Structure 1
Amino acid sequence: EIDLDKLALHEPDYEKLAKLFRELEFKSFLEQLPVDVEIKNRRPKGESNIVTGDEGLNNLLDKLVKAQNIAIDVVADSPFPMIANLVGICVATGAKEAYYIPFMNPGDKAPEQSRLEKLLESLKPFLESDSTAKVGHNLKFLLLVLKRSGITLKAIDFDVMIASYLLDPGKNSHGLETIARELLDEDLLSFEDIAGKGKKQLNSRHIEVDKLCRFACQRSVVAWRVAPILREKLENENLIKLFSEIEMPLVNVLASMEEHGVLVDREKLEEVARNLQRRLKIIEQTIYELAGEEFNIQSPKQLREILFDKLGLPVIKKTKTGPSTDVEVLMVLSREHPLPKAVLEYRSLAKLKSGYVDSLPKLINPETGRIHTSYNQTVTATGRLSSSDPNLQNIPIRTEEGREIRSAFVAPPGFMLLSADYSQIELRILAHYSGDELLIEAFRKGEDIHAKTASEVLGVPINEVTPDMRRQAKVVNFGIIYGMGAYGLAKELGISTSEAKEWIENYFSRYQGVKRFIDEMIATAREKGYVETLWGRKRYILEINSRNKNVQQFGERLAVNTPIQGSAADLIKSVMIRLHGLLPAQNFKAAMILQVHDELIFEVEENACEQLGNFLKQEMTAVKRLKVPLEVEIGWGKNWTDAHP
């Protein structure tokens, strides 16, 4: 018998729904719940105080005198710190009270100068104090914005964003909203909550002071509250040393590099743009001739019609919308017809033009004439730095066009750009990890590692190794680090899968230490669920225990590559911190201005290039952790291309 009342549609339990949606991160569903249900009891508790007038300021200063640590946040009128103006500063002096000091009123284009100077003069002793520890989220941004107002933020002690990242580098978000939700089960006001969304979003200069106060005070209080929780987690995971000795000191280093920036030659960029446009036109005409008609090269649909319907080329793989025309497919089809190769070249040049040549001039700071890229510490899962606005780490170095773009990054009059590039750092770390005697011996003797590999694997004397043999060995050496199998190696070398398999088998028969290391890393990841770098950085690899074979193999590749790439990242970070401390004491002017994976770029006085080069070789190779020596290649010139050794 059916109870009809139970089948009736009842009002849902919104509290349970909200909890479930938060756990699953269904943000759009959360927004559809009744406002009072979603927000009820979930906003951070605490007092939000707007500091106005001398009395309010003096009361705050009295509290700051007694504070051993403070949580700090700033409100700025731009997400780009090198052009941002201070709208307000917020400090939390405890878990329940925070103070917002407005520098602008809604509608102001800039702070009123006398008020700004008075407020900054009052706050400066505390913000620049070495004895008042600072806690916050994304402290590098705060550091740069405050520096533009003449304040050097000191004693930056705990960045909750970096702590969250170290504990789980594979996580999508380390935003303060996410951290608050996970650790406190509270919902922070987002910037969209107070500013709106999309095109109608208000600049913080135009938002009411009380809204900004609530927003900034919540953030400061939450940073204060989560810092001890995250610190304890770092200690429990043995990550506190990496956090306090590498990642936190690096914040100041990166801020200094971003503030300095790199000079860009606008005229050179315009010349590169014209050259690229000419080349694109020539390739475009070639494509039309090969196709027998004009069409939109950037349209996958039209390209499919030309390749598969008109030219009758074989379909390699399919997508939901039809045959694929991705890079991998076009590379395979290039063996059948010249058109796919021309399309690949066109796409590559078009990407360079739009991604760099056309966009770089827009990123030149009008005040400095320089580009100030942002370095991100909390993006890659391996610990490598990434850069954005612009991404300087993806400019190709082996192509003529990439070198042309790099040549637009120049030194100012009287200075040179100097490049210090670690030679084969990842292979050296592989030698250290694996303890492989052949690899270690080759590096200690200073042998050509790729020629040595060709000699060992192919069984020919090293002086009889041909350039082609060395090229193949180079692909194998780096392929091993990235977990390349026989199929991938065959594609890369243009040989059969059986030949590639033989290459790999012969490699492992000679380099048995490397094989042992790979097996050990995979076993460790399976057992512990993570792998570590030489500096103790962890990466969790859930994929390795997947039932899906492809996902599992991907996890195995991560287990092998992460300790190597991550250790290289940790090494260069530790060196950057050391150099940042040592450079000011040298008897010449030099500044570290760029980092691109294994390469550091410096701006140095023209007459001090050799002196700096010798200094860097000494300091950058003085890492005692490895069983093999490190090697640094030095070069200098008036632009980045000429400087690259």
Structure 2
Amino acid sequence: ASVEEQWVGVENATERLGVPPALVTDYLALVGDASDNVPGVPGIGDKTARELVNEYGPLERILENVASITKKRPREALEQHADQARLSKQLVTIREDLDVELDLDALRLREPDHDRLRALYLELEFTSLAKAVPASAPAPAADAPVVSYTTVDTLQSLARMVARARKARHIAVDTETILEPGSPNKVDALRSVLVGISVATAPGEAYYLPLRHRRYEPEQGDLLAGGAVPADDADRAPTDAHQKVSEGDETTAAADAAEGTVDAGGPPAAAAKKKPAKKKAAAPAAAPASIAARILAEGVPPVRNLPDIASPEMAPLRALLEDPAVRKTAQNAKYDVLALRRAGVTLRGLDFDTMLASYVLDPGRRSHALDVLALEFVDHQMTSYEELCGRGRAQLPFDVVPVGAARDYSCEDADVTLRLRAVFEPQLETHELSALLRDVEVPLVDVLAEMEWNGIAIDVEWFRSLKERFERERKRVEQEIYAEAGEEFNINSNPQLRTILFEKL
């Protein structure tokens, strides 16, 4: 868009190219084209090539009259590299004598084979393109799990969930957090506030435990369509525990803000209603883009949390998470370990990390993110954080996301993590990598988490003095440069530096 377009035809090509259109191949034969490995004639540049072509015409005539060329350098170059010039012309000339059958019908744009295209994109790790490929109608599978995600917001339902989890062969755990205000990083478990926990007990079966959700209180003028986040959350960045890059999901029943059990096969979320403009002259407000914003636009649902995780009433949950006999799975487990530790819970019993399993199986792949693994290994497109909460200034912090929508998002994480374990375990056994994951990689999670938790001590005064020493040294070197150049200039400016180095000095 920033480049000025100009039509080039036979009428004005000579003015634009410097040679007639019919002699462009002869010009290129002389100057060559490094991008296409056309050698050209060494020593002949753009200006000389144009002069030769305009005076003698085609390359063949130039070579016939090479003895009459007055300039010594191009004459000797052509005498020495005549064969190279002929080869170069052959390389830049489009062949028009090939027997090619023109089948216009075969050139018509057709609907691609979406399954093959998606498989190719996944093989090449073109994740964004793979997500954009329309999904074909899935064949009915007898073993496809019926998805059921449940909100656990009472002590009675918590007791039932804990009992169910203790009977499971293994469970998957996922944490949802927000950042403390003022945190310098977008993702930081050590500055996180635990908002909720999801636990998957079987494929398609997961539970969400809301701990610190709050009622959304919009700022004046905030229409949930593109306004700023609440003032007290303006500096909170989204901190999904597993840093899902960009995920999407067809099973999200996010419009169902009521707490309880949700089936993925239910009706789609209703379209959000637009708020009427207060003034006739005002343009209608854009429909909220995110799942959470659409629900909130219909009315802020009530919020009910479980007691604080450190309270006596939550002892059964803490006991479950800290019980080493309950085998646990996570994606990027180190984050969950630190987030739970910050909330006063020591996660024990971790024996599988799907991110680490993916790395052990294929260290060379570009991404081990949960949404990428889900798309490739369980053919499932997940809901992204941006789809749930929005983007930019319109992004809502996770703690104001309606519990029903948060449940679907977080339970999906835990559910997919559990399903990935079922995929990766046989592969690890086949490649004899189970011991590496079990005995080296997973135990290292606690070691790294402990190191991150303890941090390192630095001598603040020494580093401050180092900064001052570097500043003094920089200024000294600058003065030496100015003295050598004979003037002061912007050293960081390439044009000014070029002038000093190549024109003045």
Greater percentage in helix:
1
In the TM superposition, 1:262-301 aligns within 5 A as 262-301=456-495
Check conservation: 2:154, 2:306, Cα contact below 8 A. Answer: no
Report the Cα offset of residue 247 of structure 1: 1.4
Q: Give the direction of change, closer, same or farther, for the CA distance of 1:148–1:291 in structure 2 (3 Å limit).
A: same
Q: Give the direction of change, closer, same or farther, for the CA distance of 1:278–1:56 in structure 2 (3 Å limit).
A: same
Give the Cα–Cα distance (whole angstroms) in 2 for the partners of residues 208 and 301 of structure 1. 55
Match of 2:341 in 1: 147
Give the Cα–Cα distance (whole angstroms) in 2 for the partners of residues 301 and 238 of structure 1. 58
Report the Cα offset of residue 134 of structure 1: 0.7
Give the Cα–Cα distance (whole angstroms) in 1 for the partners of residues 369 and 306 of structure 2. 33
Report the Cα offset of residue 80 of structure 1: 0.5
2:237 is the counterpart of 1:136: no
Q: TM-score, normalised on structure 1?
A: 0.43
Give the Cα–Cα distance (whole angstroms) in 1 for the partners of residues 493 and 400 of structure 2. 42
| Paired amino acid for 1:283 | V
Q: Give the direction of change, closer, same or farther, for the CA distance of 1:152–1:289 in structure 2 (3 Å limit).
A: same
Give the Cα–Cα distance (whole angstroms) in 2 for the partners of residues 189 and 144 of structure 1. 24
Aligned residue pairs: how many? Answer: 308
Report the Cα offset of residue 114 of structure 1: 4.5
Give the Cα–Cα distance (whole angstroms) in 2 for the partners of residues 302 and 245 of structure 1. 58
Q: Give the direction of change, closer, same or farther, for the CA distance of 1:173–1:11 in structure 2 (3 Å limit).
A: closer
| Paired amino acid for 1:194 | L
| Paired amino acid for 2:482 | Y
Give the Cα–Cα distance (whole angstroms) in 2 for the partners of residues 145 and 5 of structure 1. 60
| Paired amino acid for 1:68 | R
Report the Cα offset of residue 246 of structure 1: 1.6
| Paired amino acid for 1:286 | E
Higher RCO (C-alpha 8 Å, min separation 6) = 2
Uncovered stretches (5+) of structure 2, i.e. residues with no partner: 1-100, 180-186, 217-231, 234-303
2:284 is the counterpart of 1:183: no
Report the Cα offset of residue 166 of structure 1: 1.4
Q: 2:178 aligns with which of 73, 77, 92?
A: 77
2:160 is the counterpart of 1:59: yes
Greater percentage in strand:
1
In the TM superposition, 1:275-424 aligns within 5 A as 275-311=469-505
Give the Cα–Cα distance (whole angstroms) in 2 for the partners of residues 30 and 271 of structure 1. 52
Match of 2:93 in 1: none
Give the Cα–Cα distance (whole angstroms) in 2 for the partners of residues 145 and 306 of structure 1. 55
Q: 1:196 aligns with which of 384, 387, 390?
A: 390
2:405 is the counterpart of 1:216: no
Give the Cα–Cα distance (whole angstroms) in 2 for the partners of residues 148 and 23 of structure 1. 39
Report the Cα offset of residue 91 of structure 1: 0.5
Match of 1:117 in 2: 310
2:157 is the counterpart of 1:49: no
Give the Cα–Cα distance (whole angstroms) in 2 for the partners of residues 11 and 189 of structure 1. 27
| Paired amino acid for 2:203 | A
Counterpart of 1:85 in 2: which secondary structure? Answer: strand
Check conservation: 2:351, 2:442, Cα contact below 8 A. Answer: yes
Match of 2:350 in 1: 156
Q: Give the direction of change, closer, same or farther, for the CA distance of 1:168–1:281 in structure 2 (3 Å limit).
A: same
Counterpart of 1:296 in 2: which secondary structure? Answer: coil
Q: Give the direction of change, closer, same or farther, for the CA distance of 1:15–1:232 in structure 2 (3 Å limit).
A: closer
2:206 is the counterpart of 1:105: no
Give the Cα–Cα distance (whole angstroms) in 2 for the partners of residues 265 and 204 of structure 1. 37
Check conservation: 2:122, 2:376, Cα contact below 8 A. Answer: no
Uncovered stretches (5+) of structure 1, i.e. residues with no partner: 312-645
Match of 1:617 in 2: none
Match of 1:515 in 2: none
Check conservation: 2:328, 2:352, Cα contact below 8 A. Answer: yes
Check conservation: 2:202, 2:415, Cα contact below 8 A. Answer: yes
Residue by residue, what CA displacement relative to the aligned partner does 1:446-501 show, whole Å, maximum 9, x if unpaired?
xxxxxxxxxxxxxxxxxxxxxxxxxxxxxxxxxxxxxxxxxxxxxxxxxxxxxxxx
Bigger-Rg structure (1/2): 2
Match of 1:229 in 2: 423
Give the Cα–Cα distance (whole angstroms) in 2 for the partners of residues 295 and 208 of structure 1. 57
Q: Give the direction of change, closer, same or farther, for the CA distance of 1:301–1:187 in structure 2 (3 Å limit).
A: farther
Q: Give the direction of change, closer, same or farther, for the CA distance of 1:307–1:38 in structure 2 (3 Å limit).
A: farther
